[in-house]
Homo-oligomer: A and B are copies of this chain.
Amino acid sequence: MASAEIITVGTELLLGQLVDTNTTFIAKTLADAGIDVHRETSVGDNTERIAAAIAEALGRADAVVVAGGLGPTVDDLTREAAARATGRSQELHEPSLARIRTMFDRLGRPMADNNRRQAMMPAGAFVLDNELGTAPGFIIEEGTRAVIAVPGVPREMRAMISGQVVPWLVKRFDVTATIVTRVLNTIGLGESDLDQRIADLFHAGVNPSIAVLAHFGQVDVKLTAKAHSHDEAVAMLDELEPRIRERLPDCIYAIDGGPIEQVVGELLRIRGWTLATAESCTGGRIASMLTSVAGASDYYLGGVVSYANEAKLDFLDVAPELIERYGAVSEEVATAMAVGAQAHLRASCAIAVTGIAGPGGGSEEKPVGLVYVALAGPDATAQVRKLMLPGDREMIQRRAAMAALTMLWKAVR
């Protein structure tokens, strides 16, 4: 079994200014690929200390993965330290320099001189392209061992680890255990609620393993099977999946799917429906989620952030009497907002949210956390749901957005 160590670089880690989630991601990704991590180290922006940490780790592990210190500044010292730890010089990597220059050209800005540093690579290194930023990564092979450097910017690091580093390691170290994962994407249940429904299926060390992962208001159930062949692992998952499904009726919106906004978008596209939004307390969060998906313009027409009452009247034709009689946070206004957005944009359907996200603005009758979500569907149908959401402002906004998207998913699936 191949062994690895992880080194993260950055003085901010030693000052406790930053939680080191890069190490967690890399460790998890390597473990999933069947590579054992034996030690994790963080060092500051200091060439000697980084070089010492790399050299020590190379004495113990097959692969040393270093994250961070590839930026353009004088504090970015991983290139130099890796060269020093492996007794190499640095040399300019022309294709990387050209790539960085192109990125700046597109910005219409001159390339700073110090960005040239990012194209300096330890001699003989295999360069890893960075599609998302200026810092290329690299791999240095030292006999049977390897030093691998990736950027510290989380999204650049993640793309490079999953897309290039792990495939390289699996091939280079001939990792043979096959690991197949399957993610059941759920919506509408809290993490502990979901956990409780399936807890008796978990046992430590059991294969396939079950993990419950919560993120941004959605909860994923991740099944991981280890076997000697892909088919064997898939058969194990096929046996387990229905046992979980029967515990979670009406909650699983996709298998290995993306976030709910992507899956709902795909369903809208398939149905040929168009969508509009009207948001009060979620303040554009739903629109922002929907438009984070490439190609959203195929089904999403747009919407209104009706934060002030004037916006509800002007953009959505909500009758002022309705607001006067029932208040802006009411079933009636939520429904009128959805109907107004649908009519203005001639959309197949519209979702609307009005509520009190807090911390101010609550009253005894209408406390912080009171939210109405409404859906105006095809054929002049409308539905509305009242929610009392716990949490702070951000949690309430997030949960309200999720509730609206859940309502939409149930209508369009």
A residues near B (Cβ < 8 Å) are 11-21, 23-31, 36-44, 46, 49, 53, 56, 71-75, 103, 106-109, 112-115, 131-132, 134, 153, 190-193, 195-196, 199, 202, 204, 211-214, 222, 277, 279, 281-288, 290-292, 294-297, 300-308, 310-311, 314-315, 344-346, 358-361, 369, 387-395, 397
Contacts and interface: CB of A to CB of B under 8 A. Distances in A.
Given A193-B112, A305-B287, A305-B302, A28 B38 contact: no
B307 A304 contact: no
Given A42-B23, A42-B39, A284 B305 contact: yes
A12 B308 contact: no
Given A13-B40, A73-B192, A112-B196, A301 B311 contact: yes
Contact of A16 (B12, B24, B306): B24
Given A16-B37, A40-B41, 20 more contacts: A13-B24, A16-B29, A16-B31, A18-B24, A40-B43, A73-B192, A75-B211, A114-B199, A283-B287, A284-B285, A284-B286, A285-B291, A300-B308, A301-B310, A302-B307, A302-B310, A303-B304, A304-B305, A304-B315, A315-B344
A314 to B, nearest CB: 5
A109 B38 contact: no
A365 to B, nearest CB: 15
18 contacts: A16-B30, A19-B19, A38-B44, A39-B41, A40-B41, A46-B204, A73-B195, A75-B212, A106-B389, A277-B284, A277-B305, A281-B291, A282-B288, A284-B285, A297-B307, A302-B307, A304-B304, A315-B344
